[in-house]
Structures are given as C-alpha cells and as structure tokens.
Amino acid sequence: MEKKLKTIIWVLVGVIVVLAGVFIYVWSDRNAIIDDLTIDKENLTEQMEQLQTDYANLSSTNDTLNESLNLEREKVAQLIEKVKQTEATNKAKLRKYEKELGTLRSIMRNYIHQIDSLNTLNIALREEASQAKQEAKESKQKYNDLKTTTDDLTKQVEKGSVLKGRGLSMIGINNKGKATERSSRATRLKTCITLVENSIAKKGTRTVYVRIKGPDGILMTSGDQQIFEADGEQLMCSASRDVDYEGEEVEVCIFFQPEGQLTKGVYSVDVYTTDGKVASGDTYLK
C-alpha cells in the first residue's frame, strides 16, 4: 500500500514537471510572438510616418490639387494614431491598417505623377511665354526699325519734294520796261528765277514770294502788306505771284514797285514758296 502511494506521488510529480515545462514553453513562445508582433507594429508605424513625411514634401501650384493633398495628409495622420492605439496582438486590425497604408501609397504615387505632369506643363508654358516675349520684343524692334526707316524715307521724300530754284536774278526796270542799273531811273525791281524739275513735288498752282531789302537792310513793301507762311514760319513779303507748276522746269518773274524813289546801293532778295526758302541773291544799283 505504501509502495503504491509512493508510485502515485512520483507519477503526480512527473505530471507536474511535464505541465510546468509545457507552461514555460508556451509562455516563452507567447512572449516571442508578442515581441514579433510589437516589432511588426513598430515597422508599420515607421512606414506610415515615412509616408507622412513623403506627403509633407509634396507641393503643387494647383489649389485644387493642394486641397486633395491636405485631405490625404489628414488620412495618414489619423491612420498613424489608430495604429498607435491598437494592441500589437490585434493582428486583424494591424493587417487592415497595412492595407490602408498600401492604398495611401498608391494614391501618393498618383499625386506624384500629377505634380510631375503639372511641373512639366508649367516648364513648357514658361518656355512658350519666354519665347513669345522674345518674339514680341523682336517684333517690336522690327516695327521700330521699320518705323525709323519709314520716317527717314518720309523725311527724304518731304525734303526731295521741296521746290528748288536756279538762275536767280534781280534787275532795275525803268518806265519803258527796259533794264537799268541806275537807281534814279529804276521804277520797279524785277526778280526772275527758274523752278527746277521735280517729279515728286506738289503739282498745281504754287505761289512764289519775294522778300526784298533795300540798302538800309529794311524789308521793302508796297501798300498791300502780304503775310505768308513758309515751312511753319509766318513772314511778310514784298511781292508774290502764282504759277502753274506740273513738276517740269518753269521760269517765274515777279515785279515789285516801291512806294518811293530807289536809292543807290545793294538790294538783296530772298525767294520763297510755302515749302521754305528757294534761293537768295542781290544786285547793285548805281
């Protein structure tokens, strides 16, 4: 009986030892599993925080795209908070969050593609704008150059269209219409000039004006004082005459009769049209 009892006791001790060993093994294995799950959770958290950093580094000039990025950043932040609050042993939730992480990564890649496309488009637009600006600058320069050339040509044409004269002469005329060099016999002064050929000059009736100054340097006028404008300047003339000018050479003679007796000395004459002075000359009366 006593021997049987001892046997039972030893069997029980053996069972206890075996159970203790099993318990220790299970407990150790559980701790190892928990440690592995904790590491998995930490790795998942690190990946999410890296994704959060990646989202933070994304930027765009498009307001709509920026609003969408802000929403995704908020989703990442919420997901990180959920993972932190979840036990490492809750494998189901952690796997769910891991899938959500993959989705957010995929969405981020799409945003990166959109931003790259926008940046490429912006670069192209800037290049086009720069090119258009350069072309506009070149066009403006060409316009200015053309305008300068046109203005120069216009001035040349205007200058070339001015009437010119040659062979200017002024003599004294007596009562019989004969030329005289004596001031005591001269009753009139006759000024003649030839308007030269000019195909681009204004055609039609042109007025030729003479300004005669006596030996005293004073402008000689008759009773009718005539005011005319030449090259933008208003002047008084001694006498004038209309002539039909058609671009061909034509001689014009203008007579001036003074109010008093002519005196001895040098008489000067300037011939004008509305374009300006045509010629100048003088004569001496004895």
Please give the full DSSP string across 138-182, using - where no structure is assigned.
HHHHHHHHHHHHHHHHHHHHHHHTS--EEEEEEEEE-TTS-EES-
The tens digit of pLDDT for each residue in 96-121 reads 877 877 787 777 788 777 777 777 76
> Chain-centre distance of CA 267, in angstroms?
61
The tens digit of pLDDT for each residue in 145-200 reads 666 655 544 444 444 456 787 888 888 888 888 888 888 888 888 889 888 877 77
Do residues 269 and 186 make contact, with C-beta atoms less than 8 angstroms apart? no
216's tokens: 């005293």
Cα–Cα distance measured from residue 263 to residue 187, given in angstroms and rounded to the nearest whole number: 11
Quick one: pLDDT at residue 253?
92
Do residues 39 and 89 make contact, with C-beta atoms less than 8 angstroms apart? no
- Report the range of poorest mean pLDDT among 6-10, 60-64, 139-143, 251-255: 6-10
At the topology level, CATH places domain 165-285 in Immunoglobulin-like (2.60.40)
223's tokens: 């009773």
Q: Is pTM beyond 0.75 here?
A: no
Domain boundaries, the chain: 2-119, 165-285
